[in-house]
Amino acid sequence: MKTTSTLPTLMLKAFNSTKLMPFRVMLILLALGMPIITQSSLAKTVKQTQIVTKNQKILNQLVGKWQGKDPSSGILVTMIFTPKNQLFMIVPFTIYGAENEVLQTSKMNYKVGYKINANTNPMQIDMFGDSDQKLTTIFEITKGKLHIGENAPGKTRPRTFNSKSIFLRKISNLTTLPKDAEIIDLNTQANKPRPSIAEQYLDIVNKAQQAYYSKTGKFAANLDELNIVTNSETESYRYQIRPDGDLKQRVSITAQAKTAEFPSYTSVVFAKKINGNTSTGVGICVTNKPSKLPPTNIKISNSNSLKIECPVGSRLVP
């Protein structure tokens, strides 16, 4: 399964004041194409220049690679801030088997946009993916450490830091990922969502379900049990976990297209005994044509393998 901007920049406009100059004189100067500069506009321009300068100063400190442990999970998180308002978040991910053995270890590389406001106390940072995914929080840089406040997408920006805020240490000024790194790009142009985003979402939830099963012996019935903080509905898709009877056997996750432009998806995560050992398998079916109805009646292969069989009108996502 594949897992795979011009980002908005801060623009400031100077507004001219008419209080210190006769209106007719202003009209004459405008007609001649001459610039009008008043004391008020100069003051505002100076202030705006100071704002831009402070933002740039903090941005220069922020650019580079930072690492720190997530206070909730203890996982080592890497954040790479680029000077072009792109943020790469690298999170290690381990999938365990039924006997708690390590089946797969990898890193998930997320790419989002970010914007800072260094003129508040504490300073503010916004992280955003597609048009309806935005996380607003606070940050500070003190003694070489980056402190980012805890929050979730769609929630009000916190005013203070708490025990779940993360501390990161700068380890490099480099702002690039390895050439072979697979990136989950959450930056999509407004009104131009890509169907592959649904596959990426399902891939994340599928892996989380496998990890959850390895610890509990059953699959999770909702996102809260998986401890995943994400929107269950976006501009293009509505996501839902659907228990398929016994959660010890299988669970489905659907990505239902909200318009007739895109296909719909259903992924199945299941447990199966092969040669006396229980393993978990995953498969995703996608409709062959754009559809608002996700595939149903997906069967698990009777063969001695971890494969699924997609119903008529759909196909298996490689």
Per-residue pLDDT tens over the stretch 47-106: 555 556 888 999 999 999 999 998 877 788 899 999 999 998 887 765 544 445 554 556
What letter would DSSP give residue 153?
A: T
- Residue appearing with tokens 């929080």: 137
Closest by CA position to 85, among listed 225, 187, 189, 196: 187
What pLDDT shows up at residue 318? 85
CA 42 to chain centre: 40
What pLDDT shows up at residue 243? 85
Cβ count within 10 A of residue 160: 8
Contact present, 312 and 286 (Cβ < 8 Å): no
Cβ count within 10 A of residue 182: 13
What pLDDT shows up at residue 100? 52
Mean pLDDT of 132-142: 87
Cβ count within 10 A of residue 250: 21
Contact present, 267 and 258 (Cβ < 8 Å): no
Sequence-ordered list of residues with C-beta below 8 angstroms from that of 163, at least 6 positions apart, any chain: 71
What pLDDT shows up at residue 182? 61
Sequence-ordered list of residues with C-beta below 8 angstroms from that of 164, at least 6 positions apart, any chain: 71, 72, 150
Sheet with 237-243, strands from edge to edge, namely 237-243, 250-257, 265-274, 277-287, 314-316
Of the two residues 7 and 175, the one the predictor is more confident about is 175
What letter would DSSP give residue 51?
A: H
The CATH T-level fold of domain 64-185 is Lipocalin (2.40.128)
Looking only at the bridges linking them, the beta strands covering 102-117 and 123-128 are antiparallel
What pLDDT shows up at residue 310? 94
What letter would DSSP give residue 48?
A: H
Mean pLDDT of 284-302: 92
Contact present, 104 and 79 (Cβ < 8 Å): no
Of the two residues 120 and 229, the one the predictor is more confident about is 120
Sequence-ordered list of residues with C-beta below 8 angstroms from that of 14, at least 6 positions apart, any chain: 41, 44, 45, 48
Rounded to an integer, what distance in angstroms lies between the CA atom of residue 186 and that of residue 235? 13
At 225, is the pLDDT very low, low, confident or very high (cuts 50, 70, 90)?
confident
pLDDT of residue 10 exceeding 50: no
At 223, is the pLDDT very low, low, confident or very high (cuts 50, 70, 90)?
confident
Cβ count within 10 A of residue 204: 19
Cβ-based burial of 297 (10 A; exposed 0-12, middle 13-18, buried ≥19): exposed
- Coil, strand or helix at 25: helix
The highest-confidence range among 13-22, 89-98, 184-193, by mean pLDDT, is 89-98
CA 209 to chain centre: 19
Contact present, 177 and 88 (Cβ < 8 Å): yes
pLDDT of residue 133 exceeding 60: yes
